[in-house]
Structure 1
Amino acid sequence: MEDTTKIKELAFQYFSGTISNADEITLFAYINQNVYNGNKFRAWEKEWITKPTVNEQTNKEWKSLERQLRIRRSISMPTVNIIRRKWKQMIAVAAIFIVLLGSSFSLWVKVSSNVPDNYFVCQAPYGNKTKILLPDGTSVWLNAGSTIKYSNKFNSKNRLVELNGEGYFEVSKHNGITFTVHTKGYNVVVKGTKFDVSAYPDDPYIMTSLLEGRVEINYKQTKMNILPGQAAMLDLKTKQLTRHETNVNQSKSWVENKIDFDDITVKDLSKKLSRQYAVNILLESEKVGAMKLCISLRNKETINEVMEGLKKIIPITVVHKGKDIYIK
């Protein structure tokens, strides 16, 4: 059993920015053992905040973090990042639990001097995926090239996040309080469920697929409910919102490092592969882009292996130029 006094000392060292790498890992492991330990960590935050003295070097470090915090190393267990700001001579500390699934991950904190809210912006860069545990217990997987934003006031009563890209959500229930995902086209409102939302800025549609529970889509004056096994799609060109049956397991296959589609165009597949492998796939033929195919990749194939496989099932020529891949 962990020595609580020692762990508390490590927590205070973490808040002050003086903890060693080895002690930091020990602290993270303790926090993530159970909810009780996580709650103790938050209590220690509050105690540390009320301490009257903060050294000058620590203040300089926190000011630097306010401009941009970039995680420079990856470890195999969940990590906790603390961002601090000064307001009315008091220090506010917020914690976020992040599981790093990719080789790199960036977190920015945007601070406005005119608005008392801070916003956490979490990003999964191209070629990587990221899992996040929100303060209310909701788990979010971000697909490559996606961001999620939420306020430092996010809690059991304010459960609003903003998604740009694709995210798979497992939303925890909180006494009937709704959880809302805001996208560029519509809001997804739930109470406790599992669903996938795809809202990339360069896609012509927004898609929400439901695995468990119930979801309400709020689009302008329209409210649409979808059930497990269904998806809601907003065509951004025609502004039409439709509901249809779908293989929802395929919509979250990316979470398990798979690519699994029964009916997808080469154009749409190229976009997904470009994000997943951090490359730029260019189609030189609209005819090729309109072709549809069934594809299932489950063995963590490289992009070269994927291209070789495509050449065997459709008549294409592939040319590699660095990160650019031309399909003719």
Structure 2
Amino acid sequence: MKAIYELFLAILSDSASDEERTLFQKEMTQPENQALFEKVKAIWNESSNLQGYHKVDQKRAFAELNRKLEAKKRDRKRFFLTSGISVAASVLLMIGLFTWIQFGNTPQNAVIAVQTELGNRTLVYLPDSTKVWLNSLSQLSYSNTFGKDSREVKLTGEGFFEVTHSDVPFVVDVKDFQIKVYGTKFNVSAYKEDPEVLTVLQQGSIGINSPGMKEIKLEPGQMATFQKKKKQFLLAEVNPGEYSSWTSNKMYLHEEDMGSLARKLERKFNVDIEFYPESIAQEIHYSGVFDVENVEEILDAISLASELNYKKEGNHYLIKRN
């Protein structure tokens, strides 16, 4: 007999045979199966939020769901439900839609998260039609009650937001502080490994709220830099389009040190970059614009503009002085 989750998948995807439909009707006479089907159905429906931009491979994702739940149901009451976005043929997904749900609770407790893998980007449509571009190694999460009483999302990594206007406040939580949005376009770079969090406003209005501090209001063309070690913000006038240029596969540099550039290249191209001596990472700075297509083209350009060269071994690049 097929696992009950595979049976649910066949029903939800409208691909069930007559035999499976008969079996489904029999299983639905059990109250616990009715409740389980409603929970799985809720997850299935949530995945449709992303189907407008990505082809959601629900069969593959629910097969993985079945494997995980069957493995854990004997000794755990909490399950990890995964609905994957099949964009590239990686392990299960290139970008994951993760939904945590506590069996015994209602589906309103579910949290949805979209995650990009190394070297990939994606465009996410939220339930209120807000668009969010996620850069490499980034994650955006929100409750499945998003839009009812609040519009709060959590971001790690980098995202560019086009927020749909609404009377319901839109809030972005980046761990160190929150960004309150009033209908706008802005970019946030909040990678854990970076020493700073950059918030750049392109259009509209946003307010930055941090515990113990007065709200910082940004105007279009301004950037707020949060220095993690010092726990302080710096404001500057910038060209906002340059900071969201990654959405069109470009990279702008403004007196950027090699260490910062290397982190961007590692995330974009899934490579490892090492400096010898390590001081190169902080001593050398660059300004310019790159079409981000090939890591070696960028490294070649840097080598021509400086006294550096690089050696490649697989996905590892050693950068050193000439």
Coarse TM-score class (shorter-chain normalised): 0.7 to 0.9
Q: What is the alpha-carbon distance in structure 2 between the residues aligned to residue 182 and residue 54 of structure 1?
A: 46
> Which position in structure 2 is the counterpart of 1:106?
96
> Which position in structure 2 is the counterpart of 1:195?
186
Structure 1 pair 122–235 and aligned structure 2 pair: CA distance change class (3 A): same
> Which position in structure 1 is the counterpart of 2:269?
277
- Contact between 1:253 and 1:260, CA under 8 Å: does it hold in 2? yes
Q: TM-score, normalised by structure 2?
A: 0.73
Q: Where do 1:84-233 residues align within 5 Å?
A: 104-113=94-103, 116=106, 117-174=109-166, 176-222=167-213, 223-233=215-225
Q: What is the alpha-carbon distance in structure 2 between the residues aligned to residue 295 and residue 312 of structure 1?
A: 13
Q: What is the alpha-carbon distance in structure 2 between the residues aligned to residue 115 and residue 293 of structure 1?
A: 53
Q: TM-score, normalised by structure 1?
A: 0.71
Letter in 1 for 2:314: G
Identity of matched residues, %: 28
Q: In the alignment, which of 237, 248, 253 is matched to residue 245 of structure 2? A: 253
Deviation at 1:14, TM superposition (A): 8.1
Letter in 2 for 1:172: T
> Which position in structure 2 is the counterpart of 1:268?
260
CA deviation profile, 1:255-286 (whole Å, cap 9, x unmatched): 00111123211111110111011111122334
For residue 128 of structure 2, give the secondary structure of its aligned residue in structure 1. Answer: coil
- Contact between 1:144 and 1:276, CA under 8 Å: does it hold in 2? yes
Structure 1 pair 193–277 and aligned structure 2 pair: CA distance change class (3 A): same
Q: What is the alpha-carbon distance in structure 2 between the residues aligned to residue 263 and residue 282 of structure 1?
A: 20
Task: List gaps (5 residues or longer) in structure 2.
Answer: 1-7, 17-23, 66-82
Letter in 2 for 1:193: T
Compute the RMSD of aligned alpha carbons: 3.8
Deviation at 1:307, TM superposition (A): 1.4
Letter in 2 for 1:108: F
Q: What is the alpha-carbon distance in structure 2 between the residues aligned to residue 15 and residue 155 of structure 1?
A: 29
- Number of residues of Structure 1 aligned to a counterpart in Structure 2: 269
> Which position in structure 2 is the counterpart of 1:17?
13
- Contact between 1:99 and 1:130, CA under 8 Å: does it hold in 2? no
Task: List gaps (5 residues or longer) in structure 1.
Answer: 1-11, 21-51, 86-95
- Contact between 1:229 and 1:246, CA under 8 Å: does it hold in 2? yes
Range with greater deviation from structure 2 (107-116 or 76-85): 76-85
